[in-house]
Structure 1
Amino acid sequence: MASMVKRHNKNGKRILDAGKSTTKPAKKPRISVDSSEEDELIEAPSNFAPKFEDEVEEDELDQLDEEESDQLDDNDENEKIEQENDDDMERDGKHKEQRKLLRDRKQSRKSGTQVQQIKNLWEKLRIKSAPMPKAERQKLADQVWELAKDCISDLVLKHDASRVVQTLVKYSAKDRREQIVNALKGKFYLLATSAYGKYLLVKLLHYGTKNSRQAIIDELHGNLRKLMRHREGAYVVEDLYVLYATNEQKQQMIREFWGAEYAAFKNSHKGLTIEEVCESSVEKRTIIARNLVGTITASVEKGSTGFQILHAAMRELVHIANEKEISEMIELLHEQFAELVHTPEGSEVACNLISRANAKERKIIIRALRDHAEALIKNEHGNEVFITLLLCVDDTVLVYKSFGPSVKEHLKEFIVHKYGRRPFLYILVGLDGKYFNPHVIKNFDRYVEMSKATSKKDSLQRRLELLEKFAPLFLQTVLHHHSEILSENLGSQFIAELLVNDELYDQLKEKDRTVFEEVVDRIAVTFKGDITEADHPIHKSFSTRLLKSLIQGGKWNNKEKKFEALHKVPILGVSFAEKFYENIIDSSNLLDWIENPDSSFTIVALFESLQGRKESKQFFNDFKSIKNKIDSDESNKGANLLLRLVKENKV
């Protein structure tokens, strides 16, 4: 008999394993014989047939016994399932009892009944899926307040009840919010250090008035240093400083980090900078520095390095720190240095530390920042930190090796990025006022001056060394992505500074100068085509300015109000103008270029650049043949200027 393995499904029914036989075993086949064998068969032993029948009968009995056994197993399984169901019912009963006991306990607590009623109303008040009429929402808010105003202190520190008060603050009128703030006076520190209460405090700051915010700041004053070391409280102080405090309130908060004296007498040093306070006494400087170091160290160890208020405290310290304290700060922050650069205060701290660090400490800082190169360079404040590295670090090989791979990967993005392009414009042209405002230049000059204590190289020498290393990257990127870069105003401006640059060409090796020439040719070919088409690059003013610089072989110095011609780039100026006319413009479309207001000034540049050159006979011959056809439309200033030049030079 084929064996069967019993299993049961979730309903208790027996199932069989797949592939196992469930049929009765087949009977033994009858023997077919010839008539010649019939007598021999009759004389066969008499026990042959009965034996066969007995075997069949035993097999059938075995099967019946097995089926009966299966049935018993089924009964056992059903009993087991019934027992489990009984156990589940018993457990459900216990859970119901526990839930009832929990409800009874909540009801028996102080204000338990009011809290339950408040929560029932809150469930309706907080609905967002369907807009609720303002009058109805106001009615619900009034009902919640009437129930909550006498027990609000019991609500604000609990998980679900605190959310009730948050919703009430959100949907209440200005006077009601003032009432809530007044009701919670004396508990703001407790709220700030509560896992649930801190959210309510932030809501009060967000929706509160100027007076209510000042009340919260005044009550927390004296405890800010303690809160900065608290896991929950630090977030409240950070939000208060970054989002809600006025400039005067921020100064009040920062002065508290100077020490207990400045917390207790918060108005005694109002309007004074930390440098002015420390000038009066060496002892005061020592005490303030010690207090700041203590707060900063504890906060960094708590994981608050990225907080802007902590960056503000660090900025206060670096303004008065001696060399030992600077080294200690670098040692403390070297692993989290990248967390400083995203805020204005943190960026200033990082720049000060870089400029005053020694060579070994600068290597540590570079190592901490190199894995964050893309975010650092694109960040509004982070790119100032990167430029400070370029300005102050003598080891330009280390700078290039650390940041070069990331720059190579993302340079196409950096070139057209508002902030990302600035470090590379510095490498190309220095701290040009065209790209850096006077305040930023003043700060960079200050960092360079501070770096002289630990740096040996001149700033210009460092920049030229960096230019030599980064220039091939610039050229290769422009060569492969010139069309995309030219389509952007910032990109076109970068290409102009790259190509119209004596310093860069002077730093290039022979193989890189070949790439330079190829880039110039690619730029020229970009302007080939029908200028009447709307997508032709000549219709973009920044492209026209680039083309004009290449034809003239120089650029306009806006500061000194004069044109500065190139002296070391032989393929620009006259050489480029001749090549451009031969390959891009000819007699067939010269008139189109003159009569198009967007391209007419390009022809003016060609005229001025090629005038008096023997090699440029073709241009002037073609020009003479069409000059009488030029339409002197007043709107086309370039064409009118060209006709005036023709008249003055008697062409």
Structure 2
Amino acid sequence: MERKMAKPHGEARIQIKRLWADLGKKKDTTKTQQSITEMLSLMEDGKLITEFAMKRDLSRIIQSILKYGTQEQRDVVQENLKEHVVELSKNNYAYYLVMKLLYYGTKEQRSAIIEKFYGRVRQLVRHKNASNVVETAYITYANSAQKKSLLEEFYGPEYSLFKSGEKHTLQEILNANPIKKPTILNFLKNYLFDLTNKPDILRNSIVHKPLLQYMELAKDSDKAEMAGFMSDHLKTFLHSKDGARAAVMCIQYAPLKERKMIVKSFKGYVKKICMEQYGHWVIISVFKFVDDTVLVSKLILKEMQQHTKELLLDKYGRLAFLAIIKGVVVPYFPPQIVKFMEPKLIDDPQNPGKQIATTKKLDEKRKEELLQNLLIDFTNAISNAEAIYDFVTNENAADVIKELFDHISVEVQNKLLDLILSWVDFTPQEERKYHPMEKKPEPKVNIVTHPVGRVFLSRLIKNHPTLADKVMDKLKPKLLDYAKDANGSWVVLRLLQNPSSKDTCKKLLLPAKEDLSNQNPETHAPILEELKK
């Protein structure tokens, strides 16, 4: 106790901590606010807040004041700290507090904090603690004009020192002053090169935009140089949209040796990257632009196949398989991504005025080699009844299985179809009792009446007419029941439209035509039309 009392403002500290210990426990809002008022009074009406903000325990107390205090009490904290946010952002304990100031601040208070970063953005981004604050401000709280103002400081010292009222993007700056392009790009290059010594900083999306802008505007030789410097770090910045696009361009323009280094750097991270909203673009670009398909198969495909089920069921993970099986095409990929993934041409260093492709292998040849390597183990991974049910009744995985049928032998097609049709006459078993804390799995149902399963079977019959007879034989005993079902009627309709199964299907359904006419006209009108033909 004597040691605590000997510290500066020791008595005030002890009393503040006592009040803080009960702060979150009080259910009475009035008492909570009274305690906070007393705490602020002990801080000499906020004058000691800046000093206390630098201390580990006291910084947490100020965060609690922001959390539980009234707007007026929060304003006291904001007013006392607003001139010190840059210094606080660098402190090991206070930078958390600055993020709370942004979180609990009003629109005007947030803008005031962000403006304090102007002129210091590049230095703060390089700092371990301050970079987290700037990143939070940029991503969560800055408006469009503030984002432009923060970003323009990466273009040179003059954009840090002289802030005009107008905020411009890099392209707008270069359009107005084309002569500045070499200077700005050179400054940007040196800064980005320097950041490779601090790979953790590259995780922050505020540096992804400048990197992407450099890759879009630099000469082909400079793009290749930048790609070489970034080859070990792509996995650190591919989680954002700008970062993923920059990473794809690094793969597109990187020299052969660096592309192999990039592929090797993904080892152990393939599953995570494939399931990223934007990161999966990078894995797909490996399939599109790395000619060494043996290396890609060994390091990328092998790791994907270790997590086949998780990836197939994932919204983004399945796209890695589709890129190989079907290709980077609409509708699985947006048109802008399809265009972005097209083969790139660069200036030929040995023949000025001519351009050459960034890859040597033809796109189709590379895709064919990867597909052969994928199919070796992929069909085995999905060839069991439980797994195939999960896949064809999941809208993400069903697309992959549907496209897979175009690339496998008739023997394998029949084997998979037998597994799928084993769920046609499936009857749900009585469920066991589950503990309230235990996750209850989705009950399995007949695949024909499943909302996703019926779409899969319908498309399969349409795309592979030769398989219709096998489906027809399986559905024949209960065909009328399926025809009456809202979901099953879609599969029956496809069987009616298929030349090989049409006659058998009609023969079974015509006696029940009147019964079918009494069903929902929206779902059964197409079946009745087919029966009239």
TM-score category, normalised to shorter length: 0.7 to 0.9
Partner of 1:286: 182
Change (3 A) 1:537 1:618: closer
Aligned match for 1:538, one of 420, 445, 448: 448
Q: Which region of structure 1 is more displaced relative to structure 2, 515-524 or 353-362?
A: 515-524
User: How far apart are 1:353 and its partner, in Å?
Assistant: 0.7
Partner of 2:490: 601
**Which residues of structure 1 form unaligned runs of 5+?**
1-98, 506-511, 555-571
In 2, Cα distance between the equivalents of 1:411 and 1:452?
37
**Which residues of structure 2 form unaligned runs of 5+?**
347-354, 430-442
Alignment of 1:446-525 (within 5 A): 448=344, 453-480=357-384, 481-499=387-405, 501=406, 504-505=407-408, 512-525=409-422
**Is the CA contact 1:391–1:448 (under 8 Å) kept in the aligned structure 2?**
no
**Is the CA contact 1:378–1:420 (under 8 Å) kept in the aligned structure 2?**
yes
Alignment of 1:105-504 (within 5 A): 105-106=6-7, 109=8, 112=9, 116-127=11-22, 130-148=25-43, 149-267=46-164, 270-271=167-168, 273-279=169-175, 284-302=180-198, 303-445=200-342, 448=344, 453-480=357-384, 481-499=387-405, 501=406, 504=407
Aligned match for 1:645, one of 527, 530, 533: 530
User: How far apart are 1:619 and its partner, in Å?
Assistant: 5.0
Residue by residue, what CA displacement relative to the aligned partner does 1:12-37 show, whole Å, maximum 9, x if unpaired? Answer: xxxxxxxxxxxxxxxxxxxxxxxxxx
Alignment of 1:540-579 (within 5 A): 540-552=450-462, 554=463, 572-573=464-465, 575-579=466-470
Please state if 1:592 is matched with 2:488.
no
User: How far apart are 1:406 and its partner, in Å?
Assistant: 0.9
Residue by residue, what CA displacement relative to the aligned partner does 1:539-570 show, whole Å, maximum 9, x if unpaired? Answer: 11221122222333x2xxxxxxxxxxxxxxxx
Change (3 A) 1:269 1:522: same
Change (3 A) 1:431 1:297: closer
Change (3 A) 1:199 1:486: same
Structure 2 counterpart of 1:289, one-letter code: L
**Is the CA contact 2:291–2:359 (under 8 Å) kept in the aligned structure 1?**
yes
Alignment of 1:54-73 (within 5 A): none
Residue by residue, what CA displacement relative to the aligned partner does 1:589-629 show, whole Å, maximum 9, x if unpaired? Answer: 3332333333233233222213xx6x9765555455x3466
Change (3 A) 1:199 1:604: closer
In 1, Cα distance between the equivalents of 2:62 and 2:505?
81
User: How far apart are 1:204 and its partner, in Å?
Assistant: 1.0
In 2, Cα distance between the equivalents of 1:530 and 1:540?
13
User: How far apart are 1:530 and its partner, in Å?
Assistant: 6.4
Structure 1 counterpart of 2:288, one-letter code: L
Structure 2 counterpart SS, 1:585? helix
**Is the CA contact 1:156–1:162 (under 8 Å) kept in the aligned structure 2?**
yes
Partner of 1:5: none
Structure 1 counterpart of 2:38, one-letter code: Q
Residue by residue, what CA displacement relative to the aligned partner does 1:484-510 show, whole Å, maximum 9, x if unpaired? Answer: 2123222223222222x3xx25xxxxx
In 1, Cα distance between the equivalents of 2:207 and 2:160?
17
**Is the CA contact 2:344–2:357 (under 8 Å) kept in the aligned structure 1?**
no
User: How far apart are 1:267 and its partner, in Å?
Assistant: 2.6
Greater radius of gyration (CA): 1
In 2, Cα distance between the equivalents of 1:349 and 1:321?
12
Residue by residue, what CA displacement relative to the aligned partner does 1:41-82 show, whole Å, maximum 9, x if unpaired? Answer: xxxxxxxxxxxxxxxxxxxxxxxxxxxxxxxxxxxxxxxxxx
In 1, Cα distance between the equivalents of 2:513 and 2:67?
75
Structure 2 counterpart SS, 1:295? helix
The TM-score, its normalising length taken from structure 1, stands at 0.71
Greater relative contact order (Cα < 8 A, sep 6+) = 2
**Is the CA contact 1:527–1:536 (under 8 Å) kept in the aligned structure 2?**
yes
Q: Which region of structure 1 is more displaced relative to structure 2, 392-401 or 525-534?
A: 525-534
Aligned residue-pair number? 507
User: How far apart are 1:362 and its partner, in Å?
Assistant: 1.0
In 1, Cα distance between the equivalents of 2:26 and 2:518?
61
Q: Which region of structure 1 is more displaced relative to structure 2, 218-227 or 528-537?
A: 528-537
Residue by residue, what CA displacement relative to the aligned partner does 1:128-168 show, whole Å, maximum 9, x if unpaired? Answer: 66343110111111122233223333323233333332222
Alignment of 1:34-113 (within 5 A): 100=2, 102-103=3-4, 105-106=6-7, 109=8, 112=9
**Is the CA contact 2:231–2:259 (under 8 Å) kept in the aligned structure 1?**
no
Over the matched positions of the two proteins, sequence identity in percent amounts to 25
